[in-house]
A and B are shown apart, each in its own frame.
Chain A
């Protein structure tokens, strides 16, 4: 079913048409094969970059396309409906440009046109082997030495590790706790910055994250983004936007599962009728469709708050929580709709189900989203 979308401008409509064309022609035909082989689709990301999709929500003067989040996220959603890994990559890249765009010095902001121009890819290094949820306890150290910071420690689960051109590295420059953390923008060619072997994943295999080891890597001090001690605040602000990206990914993935399941249920016959006409299954599909619509409405509502310059962190957490849980249910039910065929790799729904799981974990597990929401409730 085509999704009815209210868009703010004709330009936004054109952008979504372009995205759909790219998604249908460049993503859909390659997704299953690249996922099966675990091959990172760097070329596809270059194609999207040349089309201008790697800097959408940033101002035009620094090389972006000045699109509101409301529009940018629908681009992510459409990409995710054809290939989750690509949508997630665009979301992570966009997140990786946020620290410099929002907190960067005049000089650092000069890097933005290249970062947003489509040829480069960014990474965001917050998680560590011993802790992801409790990010404020991170231990990667950066010590000032002359004009450099010397970074040592290990980051874990880094999307684009080994493919990225720049890495946002959250590291400890001061004492324990959130106020001792700073953000450095490290070049991929920094000696001592060493991406490790990719993780072996349940899904999202074409974009497997990896650890990144920092072995006395020297990052110039002028690559400190914001002030010393401001890193945790930067990381969290970036994640508010990033979580909306993950919510949009979840909606796109769930929509793909729903569309596939509906098409199948209209064709497949049992007991003399298309299975969608058996109420037990038709109602399952109705619930799936309702969850997808509700999840879309929730991320768009949070995005519109952001676009209006209003606080949106709690709504972003709610959107991420709701949309990713919905995607998990919808993709699981899509497997059910296909019966035995749903459990086979000959149909994409088993892959969708494996892929949905990761969305409940990344950019703050859904437990952490509940923590964010309940703390906001407790604060009143």
Chain B
């Protein structure tokens, strides 16, 4: 099975993250950039499928030059090769434009299965898998917590708020995964050394036949117009029990929609 895993480089969600003041995009320059956490689960799932059924695993990344670090890191876990879409004109791309570029790149890769994380920790829009599937004209099995491959048939347990749904589709398809699906492996030292020699193909917008004005700031269908820092946490409400604390607690939970 020919599997392509989408990998995005994002600012470390464990550290402080900012938007830049000039164009309101994610400040990637000053952040510690890592593989989007959920994508590691997609890579692990791809490697497990390859181990069980054979095939090849390719990483696909759209991002600036420095995303190469994340590509090498992803390759050190075990995938065979990578494709890096890199072009200055891509800066500021919205989800719609990103899906256009990734769909064009996927067009060159002949994938049976496209795996990705259910969301990225920087954008958190969760729409890319659906957009990609739509553009490619294939099924989207999104938010999987379990994936079974049987020949050309895919069955996923799709995580929902109440439980899960069982959905299935024939390949080719896009499957996005949550972090409940597996436990990603660490790279091995040998894997790290081998990754240095694995092929990474770079593609520009021209290579993909996508014009610069359809993407980036120029082609964005949405833009962040303004941003401000979240106010610091306030002290919170203290309830002293004078016989009604229980009721007050429940009322608080109801107004905050926790119950």
Q: Is the interface of A mostly helix, strand, loop or mixed?
A: helix
Within 20-56 of A, Cβ neighbours of B (below 8 Å) are at 21-22, 47, 50-53, 56
Contact indicator B189/A47 (Cβ below 8 Å) = no
B37 to chain A, nearest CB (A): 13
A11 interfacial by beta-carbon distance below 8 Å: yes
Query: Shortest beta-carbon distance, B12 to chain A, in Å?
Result: 13
Q: Which of B163-214 contact A (CB under 8 A)?
A: 185-193
Cα A21 to Cα B77 in complex, Å, equals 14
Given the complex, which residues of B lie within 8 Å of A52, measured CB to CB?
Answer: 188-191
- A51 near B193 with CB under 8 A, answer no
On chain B, the residues within 8 Å of A22 by CB distance are: 186
**Interface contact A47-B193, CB-CB below 8 Å:** no
With both beta carbons as reference points, the residue of chain A lying nearest to B193 in the complex is identified as A11
Residues of A within 8 A of B185 (CB): 50
B76 to chain A, nearest CB (A): 8
Inter-chain pairs besides A50-B188, A52-B188, A65-B190, 12 sampled, C-beta below 8 Å? A11-B193, A14-B189, A14-B193, A15-B192, A18-B186, A18-B189, A22-B186, A47-B186, A50-B185, A50-B186, A51-B189, A52-B189
Closest beta carbon of chain B to A151's beta carbon, Å = 36
A21 to B188, CA, bound (A): 12
> Which residues does chain A contribute within 8 Å of B189, judged by CB atoms?
14-15, 18, 51-53, 56, 65
- What are 15 A-B pairs with beta-carbon distances under 8 A? A11-B192, A11-B193, A14-B189, A15-B192, A18-B187, A18-B189, A18-B192, A22-B186, A47-B186, A50-B186, A52-B188, A53-B189, A56-B189, A65-B189, A65-B190
CA gap between A51 and B190 in the complex, in Å: 8
> Contacting A21 at CB < 8 Å: which of B186, B190, B191, B193?
B186
Tell me the complex Cα distance, A15–B191, Å: 11
Interface range for B: under 10
**Which of B187, B188, B189, B190 has the most C-beta atoms of chain A within 10 angstroms of its own C-beta?**
B189
Bound-state CA distance A22–B186 (Å) is 8
Enumerate chain B residues within 8 angstroms of A56, measured Cβ to Cβ: 189
Residues of A within 8 A of B190 (CB): 52, 65
Cα-based distance from A51 to B187 in the complex (angstroms): 6
| Interface size classification for chain A | 10 to 19
Interface residues of A in 41-97 (CB under 8 A from B): 47, 50-53, 56, 65
Q: A residues touching B (Cβ–Cβ < 8 Å)?
A: 11, 14-15, 18, 21-22, 47, 50-53, 56, 65
Q: How far is the CB of A134 from chain B (nearest CB, A)?
A: 39
With A and B bound together, what is the CA distance between A52 and B192 in angstroms? 10
Q: Which residues of A contact B186 (CB under 8 A)?
A: 18, 21-22, 47, 50-51
Look across to chain A and name the residue whose beta carbon is closest to the beta carbon of B187: A18
Residues of B near A53 (CB, < 8 A) are 189
Closest to A14 in B: B192
Interfacial chain A residues near B193, Cβ < 8 Å: 11, 14
**In whole Å, how far is A60's beta carbon from the nearest beta carbon of chain B?**
9
Q: A146–B185 Cα gap in the complex (Å)?
A: 47
Closest Cβ–Cβ distance, residue A90 to chain B (whole Å): 13
State how many angstroms separate the Cβ of B48 from the closest Cβ of chain A: 14
For B191, what are the chain A residues with a Cβ–Cβ distance below 8 Å? 52
Q: How far is the CA of A338 from the CA of B44 in the complex (A)?
A: 43
A65–B191 Cα distance when bound, in Å, is 11
Whole-angstrom CA separation of A15 from B185 in the bound complex: 16
A15 — which chain B residues lie within 8 A by C-beta? 189, 192
- Within the complex, the shortest CB–CB distance from B177 to chain A, in Å, comes to 21
Q: Bound state CA distance, A99 and B192, in angstroms?
A: 29
A11-B191 Cα distance, complex, nearest whole Å = 11
Which residues from A are CB-within-8-Å of B188? Answer: 50-52
Chain B residue nearest to A48 (CB atoms) is B186
Q: How far is the CB of B132 from chain A (nearest CB, A)?
A: 31
User: In the complex, what's the smallest C-beta–C-beta distance from B153 to chain A, in angstroms?
Assistant: 31
Q: Which residue of B lies closest to A10 (CB)?
A: B196
Closest to A52 in B: B189
Q: How far is the CA of A35 from the CA of B189 in the complex (A)?
A: 28
Q: Residue on B with the closest CB to A49?
A: B188
CB contacts (< 8 Å) of A50 on chain B: these are 185-186, 188
Nearest neighbor of B192 in chain A, beta-carbon distance = A14
Give the CA-CA distance A11 to B196 in the complex, in Å: 10
B183 to chain A, nearest CB (A): 10
Please measure, in the bound complex, the distance between the C-alpha atom of A53 and the C-alpha atom of B188, giving whole angstroms.
Answer: 8
How many Å lie between the Cα of A56 and that of B190 in the bound state?
Answer: 11
